[in-house]
Amino acid sequence: MSDTAWTRLDGLARGLSPFALTLAFLMAAAVPLRISDLSPILPAVGLIAVYYWIVHRPDLMPAWAVFLIGLIQDLLGGGPLGVGPFVLLVLYAAVATQRRVFAGGGFFLLWLIFLPLAGGAFLLSWLFGSLILDQVIAPRPVIFEYLTTIAFYPCLTWIFIQAQRAFLR
């Protein structure tokens, strides 16, 4: 292969690294652990990843990637199909339109902005999941998943920062 082909391949790999890293986290979160009742309260890693990459590198997290992440999340999690992509695309639209407002903000500000956005995302998921299943989903696991998601936000953000420094120079 010539240098230009390697350069293009390198650029493609670097451009897909946020998507691939998010998929790796989704698959890791879907690994069945032998701990009862753990899966409903695992953090929503897809939500954190989409938020992080839209704020910091929106060019590397296009709408098609957000849709695929949501769809794969639904397939791995066993939830009603379509809810994940819809919620993540709503988050994508909300953050992308206001990105300039908080893109220069520090970590704490971005975390504070994430709190209500994640709450809205979980509320939408709960509402549409209940509508699709034609029964009210118990809100308690959703609340715990929200709390674990906002608690894991700093950890996953740190990993994404390291990945951004390593792969996206």
119-135 pLDDT tens trace: 999 999 999 999 998 89
**Taking the model in full, what pTM does it have?**
0.89
pLDDT per position in the chain (169 positions), as tens?
567 877 777 777 677 788 988 998 888 887 776 666 555 667 899 999 999 999 988 888 999 999 999 999 999 887 789 999 999 999 999 998 888 877 777 889 999 999 999 999 999 999 999 999 889 988 998 999 999 999 999 999 999 989 888 876 6
8 belongs to a structural domain? no
Nearest CA-CA partner of 148 in 36, 25, 40, 43: 43
Query: Rounded distance, CA 95 to CA 58, Å?
Result: 10
137 belongs to a structural domain? yes
Average pLDDT, the chain: 87
3 belongs to a structural domain? no
User: Domain limits at 138?
Assistant: 15-29+38-167
6 belongs to a structural domain? no
10 belongs to a structural domain? no
7 belongs to a structural domain? no
How many domains does the chain fold into?
Answer: 1
Contact of 53 with 18, CB cutoff 8 Å: yes
Nearest CA-CA partner of 51 in 121, 114, 100, 123: 114
Per the structure block, which two tokens stand in for 141? 């696991």
102 belongs to a structural domain? yes
List, in order, residues 6 or more apart from 11 with CB less than 8 Å away. Answer: none
5 belongs to a structural domain? no
Cα 47 vs. chain centroid, distance in angstroms?
A: 3
